[in-house]
Amino acid sequence: MPKYYTGRGDDGTTGTLAGTRLKKSDKLMEAIGSLDELNSAVGVALSYVDDKLIADQLKSIQNDLFVIGAELASADGKKEVESKLKPDASARLEASIKELGDLMPGLDKFVLPGGSRAAAHLHMARSIARRTERMIVAAAGNYRIGNMVIAYLNRLSSYLFVAALYINFKDRVEELHPTY
């Protein structure tokens, strides 16, 4: 029977793909943990999405996030890790944003996060993506993390916002707007 734990992290450290052990509170480990949370949040949103276009895009995003996680886990602070993220990853997100944006009316005011269950979970993933981006930027102060990763996460939060709007539009769920 396989063993699903090692016990090596019981001392508050964790191993990386770079072969080092880091405190679990290290900025890089915080970023990797937030990235894992983001990938899980995308998975939860995906479980509520019944639109094939969005579902396919989210599956691709989950794969990209896993690749980014492996890249971060390979960082050792000495040299920049060659990115395994496909060079067109941010461009694919931009194309998806445009594609979805072209299918619905323009937006001229702020929206409150929510709507359908799928859209609400996409908004939650969006906010986690923004935090993850901030954490990766903080880790980049000590580790050589490529700009492609940071750009991807920046674009991802925009994609998740537009995807939430699209799901609400398609499902005819009215967006709520803040009142001042």
Cβ-based neighbours of 85, under 8 Å, separated by 6 or more: 64, 67, 68, 71, 148, 149, 152
Architecture of domain 25-78+87-170: Up-down Bundle (1.20)
Over residues 51-109, the pLDDT tens digits come to: 999 999 999 999 999 999 999 998 877 776 777 888 899 999 999 999 999 999 988 89
Q: What is the pTM of this model?
A: 0.93
> Which amino acid is present at 164?
A
Domain boundaries, the chain: 25-78+87-170
> Which amino acid is present at 55?
A
Query: For the chain, what's the residue count?
Result: 180
Report the DSSP beta bridge partners of residue 22.
14
Report CA 20 to chain centroid distance, whole Å.
25
pLDDT of residue 87: 86
